[in-house]
Amino acid sequence: MEEERIEEVELRKYLMVIGKRKWTIITILLICFLFSMVFTFTLKPVYKIECTFEIGRTPAGLFMTPAGITQFCESDFFANNLKEILSLPSEENIAIKVRTLDYMTISLSLKSSLPREEMVKIINTAMSTIIKEYDSKYGQEIKQLSDNIAKIEKQINSIPSERDRIIYLLYLRDIKNKSDLYQEPKVVVPAAIPGKLIMPKPILSITAGVVLGFFLGFLAALFQEYFSRTGH
């Protein structure tokens, strides 16, 4: 009971300070509110643009591991290559982030205050560059496989022995089954406007400004009350 009474007295004191110094609190709160408004609506918007693609694979495995793609896409070499392809200024900051969605699916994202049309162009060019590289490897692998199948089929027709022909047919079936394990790199979801707004976030910024303003105003009111009582 005694503790509750002490807490009630303390609460009344704080409420009295708030009532007595309300204009100090309101003034500081308004300053913080206006500052958060100016900050929110003058800050250049930052958007996040994403695209998704599949790496592609052969019977031996993926063309490149997700970790390898992450290292490659986030390298200065890749960023400089994109700048050269798109004729962007050398000082332009291109920070592409890579996220692995599953075994074969990769997401590329770019956060920037650049115009969204330009961001879409950058991220789609990055994806196209990667897919083109591995699509070429896929084409070479498939061509080699097709040539091998055609060669075996030609040999089968010229084999006189029924037993040897069956062996070649089984071998051919095995190769054709392996061809099902090939998957070419492909776009799953291309980057597109509008993208996701990262900042500013008006509601969050203004709410934070109001809370901060009340807190600072209350502290200022306490200091005012203290100095008025002590005479300092």
Evaluate whether residue 10 is within a structural domain: yes
The residue to which tokens 């998957």 are assigned: 183
Evaluate whether residue 92 is within a structural domain: no
Give me the DSSP letters along 31-61.
Answer: HHHHHHHHHHHHSPPEEEEEEEEE--EETTE
Evaluate whether residue 207 is within a structural domain: yes
What's the average model confidence in pLDDT over 181-196?
82
pLDDT band at 8 (very low <50, low <70, confident <90, very high): low
Q: Report cis status (omega within 30 of 0) of the bond before 45.
A: no
Evaluate whether residue 230 is within a structural domain: yes
Angle at CA 195, nearest 5°, toward 190 and 198? 140
Cα–Cα distance measured from residue 161 to residue 209, given in angstroms and rounded to the nearest whole number: 88
Evaluate whether residue 30 is within a structural domain: yes
| Predicted local confidence at residue 3, as pLDDT | 59
Is the pLDDT at 2 greater than 60? The verdict is: no
Residue 35: give the domain boundaries.
Answer: 1-43+201-232
Q: Is 184 helix (H, G, I), strand (E, B) or coil?
A: coil
Evaluate whether residue 108 is within a structural domain: no
Is the model more confident about 136 or about 79?
79
> How many C-beta atoms surround the C-beta of residue 130 within 10 A?
22
pTM metric for this prediction: 0.65
Evaluate whether residue 194 is within a structural domain: no
pLDDT band at 56 (very low <50, low <70, confident <90, very high): confident
Is the pLDDT at 231 greater than 70? The verdict is: no
Pick from 61-70, 97-106, 147-156 the range whose average pLDDT is largest: 97-106
Evaluate whether residue 56 is within a structural domain: no
Domains: count for the chain: 1
Share of the chain above pLDDT 90, in %: 3
